[in-house]
Homo-oligomer: A and B are copies of this chain.
Amino acid sequence: MATIKDVAYKAGLSVTTVSRYLNNHPYISEDKKEKIKNAMEALDYVPSALATQLRSNRGTTIGVLVSRLTNPYFAYLVDAIEKKAKEQGYRLLIMQTYGDKQEEINTLDMLKEKTISGLIMCAVENDLDIVESYTKYGSIVVSTQTDYKSDLLHFITTNQEQATYDAINFLIDKGYTGIAYSTGGDFTEQSHGRHRNKGYLKALETSGMDLNERWIFRNNHTIEDGMQIATELSRLNETDRPDAIFAGSDEVAIGIIQKFEELGIHVPSDIAVMGFDNQPFSSLAKIPLTTVAQPMETLGQQAASLIISTIEETEFTVDPSKLQLKIIERESA
């Protein structure tokens, strides 16, 4: 592989001049430019990104951390980030945690290694003060809702609490009076999905409804989990049955509907089901899903713009107006 030295020699110039050419430094005469360009082509030269980074201390790789890529929410997010990053000359290193705290630490360590100049965390497993301590090694953008305040971390999030509040009210406005709730977490103050829980609780309170412990389902993520919920729901005493369920995930919602159908329970007339995410298949299901759409495209774009601006120390202001969640009404509720 040709190096900058070979190019300099071939062009009859010093490496400095070639380096300047590479960095479009001003003050470099046209004829030398021409010579350098020719030499580079003749030698099939491509600068070593490695050496450049080591020396200049500015990298061009952004890390992106997700739970799992096969979740369409993350796939669409990463897709949007990749497009925006490429546009600005950055590349993406993708890491999956699969819910593992240590994997997240390993990824954060890449900031120390200088493998990545910045990290976009689309999911976070460890406490944010741990994450925050890594900001001294590189820029970090967090894209999950949180109450954590920090001058070092950058946030770009949607309002999950408000969206859930709106979704529950949507059901209430449609006349449903008993609304069950499924969450991916354990329904505690620190769990995953705690902001959605708050929205649910607040909506019940606003409408003067009581929380029914038997209508709360925890740690649900998959279609199978949804089927399990439907089974449990169907076993409840007639008088103790909800007439709607907010599933908190399209997969779970689909599972619930599928099982209800098997059991001869009709959606939405017997019981309404509402999802979350508006995944691509949601409109294609047997009973098209009423759900909450997340703005993955703009979320990803803005996350990319934000991390790049912090890396390059330029200005970028997040525009929350484009980060609204939206209720998509179809047939399941």
Contact = CB atoms under 8 A, between A and B. Distances in A.
Given A79-B69, A82-B69, A258-B284, A49 B113 contact: yes
Number of copies: 2
B54 A50 contact: yes
Interface in A86-117: 86, 91-96, 103, 109-110, 112-115
Contacts of A92: 93-95
Interface in A55-104: 59, 61, 68-70, 72, 75-76, 78-79, 82-83, 86, 91-96, 103
Contacts of A75: 69-70, 72, 75
A275 to B, nearest CB: 12
Contact of A115 (B44, B70, B91, B110): B91
B72 A79 contact: no
A61 B115 CA distance: 10
A259 to B, nearest CB: 12
Contact of A137 (B1, B59, B79): B1
For A44, A76, A96, the residue with the greatest tally of chain B CB atoms inside 10 Å of its CB is A96
A38 to B, nearest CB: 18
A1 B109 CA distance: 12
Interface string A174-211: 00000000000000000000000000000000000000
Contacts of A9: none
A93 B285 contact: no
Which of A59, A86, A112 neighbours the largest number of chain B CB atoms within 10 Å of its CB?
A112
B91 A50 contact: no
A95 B90 CA distance: 11
Nearest to A78: B69
Contacts of A285: 281, 284-286
A75 B68 CA distance: 9
A263 interface: no
Contact of A113 (B47, B93, B113): B47
Given A79-B96, A95-B91, A113 B46 contact: yes
A247 to B, nearest CB: 14
A94 B78 contact: yes
A264 interface: no
A254 B284 contact: yes
A14 interface: no
Interface string A13-56: 00000000000000000000000000000001011111101100
A109 B46 contact: yes
B286 A93 contact: no
Interface of A: 1, 44, 46-51, 53-54, 59, 61, 68-70, 72, 75-76, 78-79, 82-83, 86, 91-96, 103, 109-110, 112-115, 137, 223, 254, 258, 280-281, 284-286
11 contacts: A46-B113, A48-B114, A49-B115, A50-B53, A54-B54, A69-B69, A69-B75, A82-B94, A86-B95, A280-B281, A286-B286
Given A75-B75, A82-B96, 20 more contacts: A1-B137, A49-B110, A49-B114, A49-B115, A50-B50, A50-B53, A50-B59, A50-B113, A61-B115, A68-B79, A69-B79, A70-B72, A86-B95, A86-B96, A91-B95, A92-B94, A223-B284, A254-B284, A258-B284, A286-B286
